[in-house]
Amino acid sequence: MSGFVDGVPDFVIELALLALAVSLLIAFYRIVRGPSLIDRVVALELTATIVAGIVAVFAIGIDEPAIIDVAIALALVAFISAVAFARYAERARQR
Amino acid sequence: MNDLLATIAVILGTALAVLSAVGLVRMPDVYIRLQVASKASSLGIALLMLGVAAHFDDVSVTIRALLVVAFLFLTAPVAAHVLGRAAYITGCPLTAGSKPDDLAGRYDRATGRLAAPDGAQRGDREAEAG
């Protein structure tokens, strides 16, 4: 990857991105496996959080502060979707 | 100095994020998974944002990074609470050996109402009678 500046060393950025990608895969395993809807929602929320972390590391890596806004939007959407899923699950059960 | 701080923060934050993903798979119970996923990943993101703030060393970037952290710390407990409540109401089982289940027997699945047990608190019973 070109475009890395002096500061945080290249291999730290690359290893961090690799580790975060692996943890995305691990969280995806929980989404596929379940067993309940709430498990999947929890795993989805963790996925959004990890993607926000990837955005942060990537912003350091390419030395571009503008993409931090993506992390803000992602955190917002993840919270709202988690609350909506939880309320949907409660309502569906009570009826 | 800033570079060193950013490097250490990125390494620690990444390690916490990976640990919370591993915990999400390894833990036996929805409720334990919920706590792993909300707490460890919050601290991980906070450390990564500290790394961003230290790396760019700019007021506007620091404010945005702090905004992410503040928002996450405000919403993660709320989301965990709502999801845990939904998990209990939809009847997710607790893992074997999970001892204090204070809601056992107090939640009526048919009507969807929580009730205090006999002789628990006077205020609750009076409110129910009146």
- Assign residue B94 a region: left if phi > 0, alpha if psi is -120 to 50, beta otherwise? beta
Residues A9-43: tens digit of each pLDDT: 888 889 999 999 999 999 999 999 878 888 899 99
Q: Do B14 and A53 touch (CB under 8 A)?
A: yes
Position A2 confidence tier, pLDDT thresholds 50, 70, 90: very low
CA distance A2 to chain B (A): 18
ipTM score of complex:
0.84
* Chain mean pLDDT for chain B: 81
CB pairs under 8 A between A and B: 172
- pTM comes to 0.82
Cα–Cα distance, B29 to B15 (Å, whole number): 23
Residues A49-76: tens digit of each pLDDT: 999 999 999 999 888 888 999 989 998 8
The amino acid sitting at B123 is: G
Residues B38-90: tens digit of each pLDDT: 888 889 999 999 999 998 888 999 999 999 999 989 998 999 999 888 888 88
Cα–Cα distance, B15 to A81 (Å, whole number): 26
CB atoms within 10 A of CB B99: 5
Q: Do A8 and B79 touch (CB under 8 A)?
A: no
pLDDT of residue A88: 87
B contacts of A20 (beta carbons < 8 Å): 14, 17-18
